[in-house]
């Protein structure tokens, strides 16, 4: 299946355990964030690159992700059953199916403001150099993590606690990466952990390029209640609205006299008439307190 379009894979197979019970009935990539799901928002950002083919993988509540992919115009949603294939597995599947044109990988649980077009352009420019790196990883500065060790040559030298150099510029992997067709051809069937593939690339003298040009861009892991609230705030600001605004999911009917500030109300939330709600996320079977903006 030869084509020259850039393929984009949005990883959407996770179990969403940190957001249970919200994710009991909906997979994390489809949790509403103000006006759209993260899967939808990531797809929009990917399409801004230009000519792309959208893919997603799915495992937990896979039928919902498949349906969303059809609605959003995805090329294909790759269902992983009975087991999740990690990150390396879905990359191998897409290449083995004949898709060509390179592959951009994004997370289905991260709210971000990256310039993806610039990242892909930088990655392709690096790959075009003689002996240039065929894998590019977009980094952020997140001191709580910062496990990457980046060498003076701008390439991945190691990951703290796993392999490689202990010295180098610290950074955090954003979950956004790019692979040339040549790199994808080297991911073996049955490979699971993409970090092991990066390790192999380093050992072979093909260390991935680490793009550190967008270190201070917005990057939010929405996999926890606090992260979800931060994603809601960021989306409200992106829409030109007050980040302290109350967000009530369509279809939720509020009792009389309820006052809500800096909170998100999902279907099934228990709310009393006249109640004041602030700094909370509520839904069916849960009431999470979150920090104020």
- Do residues 32 and 156 both lie within one domain? yes
- Do residues 184 and 285 both lie within one domain? no
Rounded to whole angstroms, the Cα distance separating 119 from 39 reads: 20
Q: What is the pLDDT of residue 36?
A: 95
Rounded to whole angstroms, the Cα distance separating 93 from 99 reads: 9
- Do residues 47 and 129 both lie within one domain? yes
pLDDT tens per residue across span 39-60: 999 999 999 999 999 999 999 9
pLDDT tens per residue across span 225-266: 999 999 999 999 999 999 999 999 988 999 999 999 999 999
- Residue 237 resides in a domain: no
Under 8 Å between Cβ of 271 and 7? no
- Do residues 277 and 212 both lie within one domain? no
- Structural domain harbouring 261: 244-293
Best CA proximity match to 138, nearest among 229, 223, 214: 214
Number of domains in the chain: 2
pLDDT tens per residue across span 66-97: 999 999 999 999 998 888 888 999 999 999 99
- Do residues 174 and 268 both lie within one domain? no
Question: What is the C-alpha end-to-end distance of the chain, expressed in Å?
Answer: 48
Rounded to whole angstroms, the Cα distance separating 206 from 153 reads: 12
3-state secondary structure 86-152: CCHHHHHHHHHCCCCCCEEEEECCEEECCCHHHHHHHHHHHHHCCCCCCEEEEEECCCCCCCEEECC
- Residue 135 resides in a domain: yes
3-state secondary structure of 277: strand
- Residue 234 resides in a domain: no
pLDDT tens per residue across span 190-216: 989 999 999 999 999 999 999 999 998
pTM score = 0.94
- Do residues 263 and 119 both lie within one domain? no
| Pairing assessment for the beta strands 163-164 and 156-159 based on DSSP bridges | antiparallel
């Amino acid at each position: 299946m030869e084509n020259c379009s850039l393929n984009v894979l949005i990883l959407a197979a996770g179990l969403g355990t940190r957001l249970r019970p919200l994710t009991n009935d909906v997979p994390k990539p489809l949790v509403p964030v103000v006006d759209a799901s993260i899967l939808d928002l990531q797809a929009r950002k990917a399409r801004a690159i230009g000519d792309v083919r959208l893919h997603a993988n799915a495992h937990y509540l896979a039928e919902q992700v498949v349906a969303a992919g059809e609605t959003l115009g995805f090329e294909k949603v790759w269902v992983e059953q009975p087991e999740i294939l990690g990150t390396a597995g879905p990359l191998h599947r897409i290449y083995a199916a004949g898709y060509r044109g390179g592959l951009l990988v994004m997370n289905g649980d991260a709210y971000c403001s990256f310039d993806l077009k610039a990242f892909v352009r930088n990655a392709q420019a690096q790959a075009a150099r003689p002996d240039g790196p065929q894998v590019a990883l977009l980094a952020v500065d997140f001191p709580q993590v910062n496990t990457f060790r980046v060498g003076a040559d701008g390439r991945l030298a190691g990951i703290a606690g796993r392999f490689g150099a202990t010295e180098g510029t610290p950074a955090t992997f954003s979950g956004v990466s790019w692979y040339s067709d040549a790199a994808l051809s080297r991911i073996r069937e049955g490979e699971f952990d993409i970090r092991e593939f990066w390790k192999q690339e380093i050992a072979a003298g093909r260390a991935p390029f680490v793009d550190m040009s967008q270190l201070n861009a917005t990057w939010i892991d929405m996999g926890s209640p606090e992260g979800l609230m931060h994603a809601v705030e960021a989306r409200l600001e992106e829409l030109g609205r007050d980040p302290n605004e109350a967000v009530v999911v369509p279809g939720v009917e509020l009792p009389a006299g309820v006052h809500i500030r800096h909170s998100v109300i999902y279907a099934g939330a228990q709310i009393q008439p006249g109640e004041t709600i602030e700094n909370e996320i509520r839904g069916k079977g849960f009431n999470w307190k979150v920090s104020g903006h």
